[in-house]
Amino acid sequence: MKKISIIIPCFNEEAFIESVLQNAFDQDYPSEHMEIIVVDGNSTDKTKSIVQKIAETRPNVRLIDNPERFAPFAFNRGIRASFGEVIYIWGAHSAYPSFYISRLLDWLEKSGSDNVGGLMRTQARSNSLSAIAIARVLAHPLGVGNSSFRTGIKEAREADTVPFGCYRRDVFERFGYFDERLIRNQDIEHNRRIKRQGGKLLLVPDVHLTYFARATYAQLWNNNFGNGEWVVRAAKYTGTLDALSLRHFIPMGFVAYLLDLFLWGFLSYMNWVPVWIFYLLLVPIAFYGIGISIVSLQISWQEKKPVLFFHCLLAFLVLHVSYGFGSWSGFKHTFFEKEA
């Protein structure tokens, strides 16, 4: 039976770390063949003390420090410290069913893939209307585009990226470790690197994890801005556009359109340009508004919460605009700023 290692990077996850460790203990895979490595980025809450207390009674749990704090350093430290023939990357604020380890391992072995992942079910972190709206929007194609691991698939298929992967250990010898220059989206870049160099990624429909989404619009903005920025900045550090796809550029275009709309509105108000130009430019935003209104109405109807309609509208706007502004920020860093 294969030795497996679960790597769990974390920072200030006192609300979730005990639960995710319990998910690991509840796996139907033999514990004597499994180790759990928590890589802590200098947490300032009770995360470390919680893990240390659990490790006292669980010899297969280890806590190591990540002084650099950022995720790629945590991934690489954990992998290098591990003994497993198969490496699992877990998120600290997610939940995993008891068959998660065994079923992904089965897919890995029978498919010959280098990295296998399942679907991500997005769940609200609290019962607030904003948290519910954010979670539902992050699971809808209008919110996240053709991100298959979020929106779902019916049968296993090769993919460009998978969430929280199950890797063969030699993947990191053949394709390299996570790029520590990338503060965000290092997993996307690493998966694209595997595929570019002839490796195989598999997304499977019968394994899932539950991801607890941000609960406030400010958290959504900050997280999504960073994602948008670093998916573009990856091009600078890696010298390739592999980490980018059409769905990453659409929010950039949307933000550019909104700024252009504001400009033409001002020009027409000042009578410097014909007003019909401004009216013509309103057509796309009208279709966008109709689209997110229909989906928001559907969600509020399903949740039986009429006021959720307005929260979903705001969640869509924050999601798209924050990612777009983040991507433009990444574009600026990539092409107009020199390294310090």
Look at residue 28 and tell me if it is in a domain: yes
CA distance 50 to 10: 12
Task: Give the CATH number, domain containing residue 22.
Answer: 3.90.550.10
- 232 found inside a domain: no
pLDDT at 81: 97
In this structure, are residues 63 and 52 in contact, taking their beta carbons and an 8 Å threshold? yes
Q: Label residue 337 by pLDDT band (50, 70, 90).
A: low
Q: Which helix (H) or strand (E) holds 283?
A: helix 275-303
Residues 211 and 251 occupy one common structural domain: no
Q: What is the pLDDT of residues 47-82, one digit of tens each?
A: 999 999 999 999 999 999 999 999 999 999 999 999
In a domain, 308, yes or no: yes
Ranges 43-47, 162-166, 237-241, 296-300: which has the least confidence: 237-241
Taking only the tens place, the pLDDT of each residue in 128-184 is: 999 999 999 999 999 887 788 888 889 999 998 899 999 999 999 999 999 999 998
Query: 104 and 250: one domain?
Result: no
Percent residues over pLDDT 90 in the chain: 79
Q: Residue 198: which pLDDT band, with cuts at 50, 70 and 90?
A: very high
Please give the pLDDT value at position 151: 83
What's the whole-number mean pLDDT along residues 250-262? 93
Does 153 share its domain with 256?
no
For residue 210, what are the domain limits? 4-217
pLDDT of residue 319: 96
Instruction: Give the pLDDT confidence of 97-115 residue by residue, as tens digits.
Output: 999 999 999 999 999 999 9
Average pLDDT, the chain: 92
Check residue 338 and give its pLDDT.
64
For residue 11, the model assigns a pLDDT of 95
Question: What is the rounded CA–CA span in Å between residue 79 and residue 77?
Answer: 6
319 is a domain residue: yes
Same domain? 251 vs 324 = yes
Residue 245: pLDDT above 80?
no
- Per-residue confidence (pLDDT) for residue 242, from 0 to 100: 64
Query: For residue 220, how far is the Cα from the chain centroid?
Result: 12
Q: What per-residue confidence (pLDDT) applies to 112?
A: 94
Query: Per DSSP, what are the bridge partners of residue 123?
Result: 212
* Final residue before a domain boundary, out of 170, 200, 217: 217
pTM, 2 dp: 0.89
**Predicted local confidence at residue 152, as pLDDT:** 84
Q: Any bridge partners for residue 117, and if so which?
A: 203
- Same domain? For 133 and 276 the reply is no
**Is the residue at 233 inside a domain?**
no
CA distances from residue 151 to 119, 142, 228 in whole angstroms, order as listed = 8, 10, 19
pLDDT in tens, 17-42: 999 999 999 999 999 999 999 999 99
Q: Domain check: are 176 and 71 in the same one?
A: yes
Judge if 206 and 100 occupy the same domain.
Answer: yes
Residues 176 and 62 both lie in one domain: yes
Based on the domain organization, do 179 and 260 belong to the same domain? no
Q: Residue 309: what are its φ and ψ, rounded to 5°?
A: -50, -45
Do 12 and 158 reside in the same domain of the chain? Answer: yes
Kindly give, in sequence order, each residue whose CB lies less than 8 Å from that of residue 253, ignoring residues fewer than 6 positions away.
Answer: 324
Q: Please tell me whether residues 115 and 184 are part of one structural domain.
A: yes
Over residues 317-332, the mean pLDDT reads 94
> pLDDT class for 241, splitting at 50, 70, 90?
low
Q: Answer yes or no: is 180 within a domain.
A: yes
Domain count, the chain: 2
**13 and 85 within one domain:** yes
**Is 225 part of a structural domain of the chain?**
no
Looking at 217, 233, 258, the residue that finishes a domain is 217
**Is it the case that residue 238 has pLDDT exceeding 90?**
no
Tell whether 237 is covered by a domain: no
